[in-house]
Structure 1
Amino acid sequence: MIAHLQRASDTAGLLAYLYGPGERGVHVSPRLIAGDGHGAPIELLAEPGSLPYLAHALDAPVERLGAHAPVRPTWVCSVRSDPHRRDLTDAQWAVVARRLVSAVGIAPEGDPDACRWIALRNQPRQVHVVATLAREDGGLHQGYRDAFRLQTECRRIAAELGHLPTAPHPTPRAHETAVPTPPITISSEASGSVVAKGANDDLSAMILKHAGFRQIEDWHGLRHRLPTTTAVADQVAIASHAAEMLRAARYGVDLAPSLDMARISTPANPLGPYAAGAALLQITDRIRSAENGADLRQAVDQLLHPEHGVLERAREALEAASEHITDLDHEAYALADRFGFAAEFVSSAQSELVDSEDELRRVGGPDRQLASSSAASMLADLGYRVAIDPSLAADYVGEAVGHEARRLAAARQVSPLAAASNTGTSAPPSTAPPPSAAHPTTRSR
């Protein structure tokens, strides 16, 4: 038994799809089997002609939240059982649905302010649970770790029903037919030619001939050699290719290091075939080098974009792997469920980071720069040497210049007492600069 968790923004459209024929016409006899509308007559509204009213009844707590309502307030959980086991009755599926909404906290048992939810069936061996995340008391259900709690409860239910597969007894592996593996040495002679020795059977001789070697048999014995006119780069390429083919045929090969392309060349991509991992490393570097909230948001968008982000692509790949495993081997049901379970964890991670774009935009905003420049100015006034981040240098310099101008203006002003004492005298006012300006001092700490 495995649960597939999703979030939706349109409850009415979701119910219309679940009660309709489905994409391939697989929905048969849609019917309500359980639910809690907190006073709303969901049993009477669960009919094809009344689905908008049923959606309105489920969405009533969400509508009361107004602007504080989440973007995707509808919680959808599709649970299916083992196709190799007997199907459950509607009453049994109703018990399963109640246990699941209680396990994740959507509708804990005995909670009068829990979320509104319904459970409906439209296919064999499957039930759909639809709930809205707004509680009756105005709170919101936090979906953190919902996927983990769902899968834990599903395994517990499957164990109680006896649906968990038992581990097969290990069977002894048949002994493989031994293939002769004579040691084959590929090396360079003093003359510079490349020679392969030890290929004494037809298969190894055919492989070397296919790679480009020529067979020679004289009084020195049987051996294979590359033409003496072969360029050095071609010698390395041919010898490495021949060694690779011989090893694939389960021959032991001793290849000279000077002829091993893997040793003497540096691969262009250090991660080899893992191009997706290399691309993700580049995103990580962009995140670490972000200088402000805008740069960080652009880098994180590569992860969180709802259509093309890394998390969405990882979820799609895991779901595709789960489905394809079942297509290739119907008995590998447990393995397919594990991949589907991993996809649910990625989906849960996506739901945790919804609407984080605005918060990222505020990271490292102007308020932080202004506070940093003001602190730097105060420390400089006290005589400390201040090192300031380049991203904040412009703000700091502008504020420091203004602060210094204010200091000089205050120093040049004459006090009222000095002005009164100079009244009526013929001596011209002194134009000497203040001591602090004429003899600047430097304080250090």
Structure 2
Amino acid sequence: MIPRLHERTHRPHDSLAAALRRPVSPNEGLTEYTVVAHWPGLDYFTLDDEQKIWTSVQWAEHLEDPYLEHPFAASPEDDRRAILHLDVRLHPDDRELTGPEWAEAAHRLARAAGIEIPGKEHGCRWLAVQAQPGRIDVVANLIHSDGAWHAPPADVLRRLSNEARRIEQDLHLIPVRTGPSRPAIRPAPTASAQLASVLTQLADEQIGPLATVRGLVEHTAHRIARQPGAAGIDTVHRLELIARRLHAIQQDLDTTAAHLIQPRVATVPPGTPPTDRRRRNVSLPRTDCFLDIRRDPHSDELLARGGDSEAHSVLQRAGFIAVVRVHETYHRSPTGLTEDDESRLAIDAVARLRVAGYHVDCDEDFDTGSRPASYLPLGSSVAQIAERIREATTTDEAADALTELTAAHDGILAALDEVLTATADFHDGLGQAADPYIARRLRYLADEHLRVIRTDLADTRNTLADRHAPHPGRNTCSGDVPATEYERSAVCACPPPPRTVPAPRPPVAAGRRR
């Protein structure tokens, strides 16, 4: 982490442009992912219901206002260059810092430079911009709100360097080399790594364009929701759906980028049995098997954090509600429950998770020794269709498995159509303003999206049923030697087929099945 102090200037526009690496614009809004920190007095300039996303020009004008309010303020050298600009760069091999970590570093650097004094209300106006990878810029006006001129200490660069060393230690960053050393030779990035870097920048949650667009969409939905009347509820729901789609696109881009930079793995032979724990009931090491179920000490809410997707399914079946945030997914209890009902909900969730093999840390009131009987969920029977397709050796076998999905009367997709229609009918009579829109949305999903899926899958199934051909990559050797073979006594060199292990009997439930 190397700090650099720029020469003081008269206008903040150039410093902001250098921090953003583009000219300031009246049309570009800077979200909280770009402006990660600012001076405490900014809260007095914005009302609770006022738009918090300012453009880069508005931020520059905010920093320039002390010039207009105090036209005679000057430095001890009798000059008016009041704009202070400093930037800090991380080591190229440092990890990516989160937004709160950048904000903490910005406040500490501002205190080291003397532009922020804890407890002083009429201090310098400043903001921290994190718009470039591995770099943060702090731009400040040295004219206080009361008209006094802030003179930086003479050893400000030494103070910034010392504070940067402490930040490196606290955040476990790579320290700056103090002695001469031979620079390490960094390998040239591959084409896949370069493409992964582009995708990562697109999906970046702090400075990526998709995150900025999603923030503007969410802010617009929030503003429309606060308008009187129910006319804008449909628009709010549409904007929320758009924001969710953008978030899903960001996650898909991150996953694609991770696959691009992963080393290639040898192809698994066709005869190798699958190792999915959900399909084979094999106990594999969990990557995220620790959960925490407690009451929040500040809000007194019952929250469950941690776990993987299977643990999230257990929590949802126990009655918890998923809350999807940008950096995490946690679960809360439904609203309107009494404290006793929430305790019963937490105890049931703890018991179910421990039966599933998870390590649950919870409040003392939620700890239980109960181990209820567990049953395979309905989705596991649907997942068996995928297993049948994976093991299919002919097109007829694959077509038979797809028939369970595409059957016109009692297929899975037909049942899903009935579920969507029944849910839409249920929302028609609930009485709230948003319920008719939800009902229309569900019918739209059933009539448009689900119909396309059913049509395409049915066509795929019919095409496979007409082919009557074996799969060229899944044929099993019978060991028979043709009659035209001279060496009739030769032994086939193909590996023997894998042994089929009989499936274990389902456990007998201790209690009555619900």
Structure ID, larger Rg: 1
Kindly indicate whether structure 1 or structure 2 has the higher relative contact order, using CA contacts under 8 Å at least 6 residues apart.
1
TM-score normalised according to structure 2 size? 0.29
**Structure (1/2) with the larger helix percentage:** 1
